[in-house]
Structure 1
Amino acid sequence: MERQMVVTQQDCPARLVPAGTKISIPKDTFVTITQALGGNYTVSVNGNLARIDGTDAGAIGMKAQAFDFKAPEDGSIDDDQVWQALKTIFDPEIPVNLVDLGLIYSVKIDQSTHVVDIDMTLTAPGCGMGPVLLSDVKYRVAKVPNVKQVNVELVFDPPWDRDKMSDEAKLETGLFF
């Protein structure tokens, strides 16, 4: 996608890049879309870069990404829905989702408290987008029905390597050999 200037059509939640700090972009603000990847948008606003989640894309005139998760009748959290939500989060520099990149190490769901605990890593310990990715994980998994809290722990043991990637991710990135 080429850079595109748009005007926010309503107040828009976003997160500053790379810190991940939550902000709200007011209605009628000019922003420039600098990247669209995995349904998320990176925009330039008032001299800063911010990330807009795809579920909020309607605020910038783009098609909002919908989660049509059906809430389990028993009030539980569906493990498959959590993993589906995680597969919608893409590394901002690589067009592959975090699950296929092998960055999600574990997902634990406490059905009694409705808390999801996730251990994840980054492709490199010094990755400047780490805070944004953690924020993306919390934001998206919180949209799964019956989730009350999401805790994300950033771990580096074991260190990530390309062997953790799915075959599809290796093909997409040209790392399959």
Structure 2
Amino acid sequence: MNKKMMTGLAFSRKLMLTAALGSSILLTSCGDNDGSPRIKDSEEKTIYEATKGTVTEVEEIEPGDDYKIIDERIIDKKENSIAIVHGLDGQIDTLSLAKIDNNSNETRYRNRSGLRTILYYSLASSYFNRNLSNVTPNSSYYKNSTAYNKSTDLKNDLKSSATSRKIRVAGASSKGYGSGRSFRSFGG
């Protein structure tokens, strides 16, 4: 063999050895060697999902899009959750929360965002929201304190019958822009 060929073979062997060494260092730094990404700073959180449903009664306060919750009840099946709407004109409509969730065009309330907002801040939000911890009745959407207090008490009943599961979420140092450090800009 000539000298150029031997130098080329030696160089290619060195290159292959360097690549193999780099790959082994990279693989050993991955931890469990399963190739899945890792969250460096994470915490375990319990998610409660409602198994029971709700009947939320609302009444129209003023013509248009102004409603208040007058009563809420818990029912056995989440998929049977409904809203009962008492209109100013005396008409009473029963709306399936499944149809509201799917933006159904079958109701006369399809363009009324106020009704949807009210439901999102009542026990009915347990139908729309996977995490029961995020279900918090808002007192300003209830007609009186009696209706509001009843709903906050019923939230505990919903939680006691809920299923729970644990998930991993980003930890405190992973949340938000610039967490743990100041990223303020100076100048214009």
TM-score in terms of structure 1 length: 0.23
Higher strand share: 1
Structure with the higher fraction of residues in helix conformation: 2
* RCO higher in structure (CA 8 A, sep ≥6): 2
Larger radius of gyration: 2
